[in-house]
Amino acid sequence: MILRFLPHSPYARKVLVAAHELGQSDAFEVVTAHVFDPDTPLQTENPLKKVPTLVLDDGQVLYDSTVICEWLDAREGGSMLFPAGEARWDALRLNALGDGLGQVATWKIRERYKPENERSDTYIAYYERTLHRSLEALDGEAGGYGDTFQIGQISVACALSYIDLRYPDMDWRADHPALGAWYDRACERPSMATTPLGPYDGPVQPW
């Protein structure tokens, strides 16, 4: 199997962390695929041209990160990362919040890449409010996560790692100490320690 990947993507990291937690780190080959490269294999594999994309041995293609993670979980019998029963809905809710946090952080970064005369202060302010509102919500519940590290916690941890990568001057821990303390503990897990985000070295604009 092949995992199409970008080193700075919190969603690609989410799959790597999940695979590690499930003991499946060696289940696939990790291959970088730049989404803005006109010759990327994503062109034919994923109509959204996004990472992560998982190409199975039989040619079937899976996306997005949550689908891939649940497929990996199912290989282990299910319910390790995606709990059954009522707990499933809370896990999926938290997963959605983590994914959304990463998404809004990405949108804000994209404003930075626009020519100065095309940047929108209104959108930047909107993204900042959404970021802080999401962090506040997570801070209010992080103390209850304990040692649980299922799909929701994985999604949140990977989103926070993206914020640290892209916004090194954003001292979000100061205003959200419970979330910061939980995240620092999460980063000690082997699945997190061995899958750090890296810099992006591809094209920043579509052709």
User: Is the same domain home to 65 and 113?
Assistant: no
User: Is the same domain home to 131 and 150?
Assistant: yes
Alpha helices by DSSP H, the chain: 10-21, 42-45, 65-75, 86-113, 121-141, 151-166, 172-175, 177-186, 190-193
Per-residue confidence band for 77, with pLDDT thresholds at 50, 70 and 90: confident
- Cα–Cα distance between 13 and 192 in angstroms, integer? 9
State mean pLDDT over 193-199.
Answer: 97
Say if 204 falls within a structural domain: no
Position 125 pLDDT exceeds 90? yes
Position 207 pLDDT exceeds 80? no
Per-residue confidence band for 46, with pLDDT thresholds at 50, 70 and 90: very high
State mean pLDDT over 58-66.
Answer: 98
**Is 135:159 a contact under the CB 8 Å cutoff?**
no
Say if 143 falls within a structural domain: yes
**Is 192:157 a contact under the CB 8 Å cutoff?**
yes
Position 206 pLDDT exceeds 90? no
The closest alpha carbon to 5, from 75, 72, 54, belongs to 54
User: Is the same domain home to 147 and 63?
Assistant: no
Q: Select the more confidently predicted residue: 114 or 142.
A: 142
Say if 167 falls within a structural domain: yes
Q: What is the pTM of this model?
A: 0.96
Say if 203 falls within a structural domain: no
User: Is the same domain home to 152 and 133?
Assistant: yes
User: Is the same domain home to 90 and 184?
Assistant: yes
For position 37, what pLDDT does the model report? 92
For position 204, what pLDDT does the model report? 74
Q: Count the domains in the chain.
A: 2
Non-local CB neighbours of 161 within 8 Å, separated by 6+ positions: 10, 13, 187, 192, 196, 197
Say if 197 falls within a structural domain: no
State mean pLDDT over 116-122.
Answer: 93
User: Is the same domain home to 16 and 96?
Assistant: no
User: Is the same domain home to 17 and 36?
Assistant: yes
CATH number of the structural domain spanning residue 25: 3.40.30.10
The closest alpha carbon to 21, from 63, 65, 80, belongs to 80
State mean pLDDT over 79-83.
Answer: 95
Say if 158 falls within a structural domain: yes
Say if 174 falls within a structural domain: yes
Say if 177 falls within a structural domain: yes
- Cα–Cα distance between 31 and 184 in angstroms, integer? 28
User: Is the same domain home to 131 and 183?
Assistant: yes
User: Is the same domain home to 17 and 55?
Assistant: yes
Position 72 pLDDT exceeds 90? yes
Domain holding 21, by residue range, is 2-75
**Is 4:49 a contact under the CB 8 Å cutoff?**
no
User: Is the same domain home to 62 and 107?
Assistant: no
Non-local CB neighbours of 89 within 8 Å, separated by 6+ positions: none
Position 202 pLDDT exceeds 90? no
User: Is residue 197 classed as helix, strand or coil in its secondary structure?
Assistant: coil
